[in-house]
Amino acid sequence: MKLKFWGVRGSIPSPGEKTVRYGGNTTCLEVRTDTNDLIILDGGTGIFPLAQTLLKELPVKAHILNTHSHWDHIQGLPFFIPIFIPGNIIKLYGSFDPISGEGPERIMNVQLQYSYFPVREAEMKSSFEYVAVMPNEVFQIGSATITPVLLSHPVVNLGYRIDCNGKSIFFTGDHEPHFNIYDPVDDGYKEYQSLIEEQRQSIVNAMQGVDVLVADAAYTLAEYPSKKGWGHGTFDSSIELARDAGVKRLYCTHHEPTRSDDDLEKVFAEAMSRHANNVGKLEIQLAREGDEVVI
């Protein structure tokens, strides 16, 4: 398989001279299987430059796996040009939202309204299909086996494991480690802590032994207390998760949009120094827009 990063910033696009090295586009990853099946992970603004490259290989058959419906993960979808070209086949996969009572169709229903965008959903000329997926219900895309996994975020967020011919990728989307809502002295603390530990272990099991883990590492340890409950992890939490799951290579992503490239490298180096002696053979890198990985 091949993996390419098209967007690695979190929350809002952050173009400018201070983000040139790692990129300013929001989340989008391209995966190509050994048989060239096209799988796209999230539709942040990074999906727009990806779309430009796809115009060279029409007709396009693309499978877009959406982790969740927050703006930075969907805002590029109306600009994914293949959806407007006849002959292309596009499938948008995502979770069922118990709040709205709708599946991934709501992602486009809402964005492609005249109040927000000049082109209506009815004007998509491709063959466009919505596919609702459920946690732990495995499905196939060509030669790849896809396993959606429920993670921790303020809305339903599905991480995706992709297995193909003995190689594997896991992408978390946005994920904050589960935390105990009780104080240690409260009656419900121990029971809730047990539940948290079960949830974490299920996530560790889901990503066990993958070749590549791409994980939300938005914050530093110092930043996290004021961001608790926002749904994002830290460099340390992602490193610990990768280590416990026996992952071979970790890419830290969802870079804080106010952080310059220099600052990003600085806080990453600080996190690496804390874990220098406890990661074994785990390779750890910052996700960088434009980087390609052969697995």
| Domains detected in the chain | 2-294 (3.60.15.10)
User: 244 with 280: CB under 8 angstroms?
Assistant: no
Residue 8 is predicted with a pLDDT of 98
pLDDT at 220 over 90: yes
Is the pTM higher than 0.85? The answer reads yes
CA angle 162, 86, 164 (to 5 degrees): 15
Return d(Cα 60, Cα 223) in angstroms, integer. 42
- 36 close to 143: Cβ distance less than 8 angstroms: no
Identify the H or E element spanning 92: strand 89-94
What pLDDT was estimated at residue 167?
98
Mean pLDDT of the chain: 96
Q: What pLDDT does residue 180 have?
A: 87
DSSP 243-272: HHTT-SEEEEESB-TT--HHHHHHHHHHHH
- Per-residue pLDDT tens digits for 11-65: 999 999 999 999 999 999 999 999 999 999 999 999 999 999 999 999 999 999 9
Would you tell me the crossing angle of helices 235-244 and 189-206 to the nearest 10 degrees? 70
pLDDT, average across residues 73-98: 96
